[in-house]
Structure 1
């Protein structure tokens, strides 16, 4: 779990290196936001999921829906 740059209130005024995104499920890392990654906010905490984990989760969710939903 990481936050994008500028997402904290440290107030030091110094530029920080952006932290890499880390997939909350498999631990894959990305140095910059990826358009295929998913972001989820759960209980006020931001979680990122890589494209593979996002796709697997979506498939599992869709598999539990009645056909009327899709």
Structure 2
């Protein structure tokens, strides 16, 4: 399990997802957030962080580069 995601407590969709940059939390899978797989683990980015780094995301640069 990724460090950005808590275990599912009961049913699918009950997970908390945390932005890998600003640590904002969302309940359930937020449809407007960005998901990236870096070094084999999923990382989620909120709308604000994704917008601020869209060129790096489109260039497929790992978030550590941003």
- TM bin (shorter chain): 0.5 to 0.7
* Larger relative helix fraction: 1
Instruction: Trace 1:28-67 onto structure 2 (pairs within 5 A).
Output: 28-58=24-54, 60-61=55-56
RMSD of aligned alpha carbons: 2.7
Unaligned runs of 5+ in 1: 6-14, 63-70
Q: Using the alignment, how far apart are the partners of 1:4 and 1:38 within structure 2? A: 20
TM-score between the two structures when normalised by the length of structure 1:
0.61
Q: 2:5 aligns with which of 2, 5, 9?
A: 2
* Larger relative strand fraction: 2
TM-score between the two structures when normalised by the length of structure 2:
0.64
Rg bigger for which structure? 1
Unaligned runs of 5+ in 2: 58-66
